[in-house]
Amino acid sequence: MDSYLGIDISTTSTKTIAVDSLGKILAVSSSEYAYETPFPLWSEQDPDLWWEATKKSVRGCIAQAGLEPSQVKGIGLTGQMHGLVILDEKGMVLRPSILWNDQRTQQQCDEIRNVIGKEEFIKVTGNDALTGFTAPKIVWVKEKEPHLFEKIRHILLPKDFVRYKLTGEFALDRADGSGTILFDLKERNWSYDLIGRLGFDPVWFPPTFEGTQITGLLTKQAGEEVGLTQGIPVFGGGGDQAASAVGTGAVKEGILSISLGTSGVIFASTDSPRIEPEGRLHAFCHAVPGKWHLMGVMLSAAGSLRWFKDTFRKEASFDDLVAEAGDVEPGSDGLLFLPYLTGERTPYPDPLARGGFIGITVRHTIRHFTRAVLEGVAFGLRDGFELMNEAGLQRVEQVRITGGGSKSLLWRQIIADVLNTEIVTINSEEGAAFGAALLAATGAGVFDSVEQACANTIMVKDRVVPGSASTLYEKIYSEYRLLYPSLKNTFHRIAEDIL
């Protein structure tokens, strides 16, 4: 049977999965690597690590699935977003990639707002200039490493460097491209006006493609290195969040997805570009042709629970820790938790925001604190949910949840109660890599559309509906929303004193 590969180039590993023409996963293989933090706030990675890991994971996947190279009919790519890869005229890497979690560019973000104007920038790109995005990283290289800036001839994102190694072509999908914040969101392509006003050369930026379009063919040399046949089409794919949404079936309005991992992401597909006027939500192109999405990101979701466990209950398992919290009534007897342990992005783009427990009394036990963490993360997700409503997304039929935190029935119930909507789990657990494989299969003609691919391969496993606690959580959430505005100045003074 024909098969299709999804390759996910993440921050810590590259994963390759193989699926057949029915969407059944045949094999999964991954290869790990590290990233560097040479200075405070910096996060960098050698792009060659991605290529070496791609070769290993593809070969491992093919061997594990027992496939002949000729059976692979398409490759879809996904991976970490926003990273900056700069190449010279010979296609050689000029410096380590500056990654999505790098925080060095606050000054450059301010400069972009000054040059373009914050309101105009958000209107064109759908986003404010934030440190994680690609554009301020290019400005940083221009100002801090002018000797390298002068040599730039090509700018790519991480997965598109792997695309270049596979095909010899410079190309980029529109979902990931919009995450550079150099796109005209409505036009689904580069804003050459913004590029020029920021002092960048338009020829550096590659042609863009929809997620199901062919961007190039596997070269003979690359085929020999990864163990595949020359000429296999490589499709656009998408940035990890958009591809993950395909992998969970969040490809039409009314179906939202929540990724409850270290960070928390709430994702909504839209049929037209919708922008939150203050840029508190990310607005990008979807990997689904002709569609867009809104995305809210909280930086410490399941990461908050891990921090709590490692700090206060290291000896306990996550299951035991959460089970104890189940004995506590909703609302944790008035104990609230702010989940801003690593700053925040949505709804407050504030790297100096801090976490906290509020309302502690002698009645509170470790179980109350655990439940407060679960509830605080749910309230943080609700913030993104509310911003989506304000941006015009009124219809929510279902929320699909994935990630390590989604394995907890209690946490799923709390989120259903806080959002006052049905929460479901699905049969797909490979997220972005699976979505990339579906995009490739759709592009190859196996499915008529991405929507059909999702409908044929993704099924609901479990449902949780809002319970009687929803009314109480509505009241508590109104108090939760007051905490950050009340404490913002304190957070900043604390950070200034420390820094």
Element (H, E) at 426: strand 423-426
The DSSP secondary-structure symbol of 301 reads S
If we measure between CA atoms, which residue out of 292, 127, 101, 141 comes closest to residue 194?
127
* CA distance linking residue 244 with residue 116, whole number of Å: 32
Which of 240, 271, 327, 383 is an active site residue?
240
Whole-Å CA distances, 249 to 329, 331, 422, 459: 34, 32, 15, 9
User: E strands of 279-353, at which residues?
Assistant: 282-285, 292-298, 336-338
Q: The tokens 């702010």 sit on which residue?
A: 338
Name the H helices within 294-365: 302-312, 318-325
* CA distance linking residue 335 with residue 423, whole number of Å: 25
Contacts of 229 (CB under 8 A, 6+ apart): 69, 70, 72, 218, 223
End-to-end CA distance of the chain: 59
Question: ∠284-289-291 over CA atoms, to 5°?
Answer: 45
Instruction: Tell me the sheet residues that pair with 86.
Output: 155
Question: ∠300-303-309 over CA atoms, to 5°?
Answer: 135
* CA distance linking residue 407 with residue 55, whole number of Å: 32
Contact between residue 49 and residue 33 where contact means Cβ atoms under 8 Å apart? yes
Whole-Å CA distances, 274 to 246, 294, 445: 19, 7, 30
- 173 in catalytic set: no
Instruction: Tell me the sheet residues that pair with 270.
Output: 292
Element (H, E) at 42: none
* CA distance linking residue 439 with residue 37, whole number of Å: 34
Contact between residue 281 and residue 315 where contact means Cβ atoms under 8 Å apart? no
Cα 379 to its chain centre, rounded Å, is 20
Sign of the Cα pseudo-torsion (422, 425, 428, 434, in order): positive
Contacts of 52 (CB under 8 A, 6+ apart): 31, 33
| Residues with catalytic function | 240
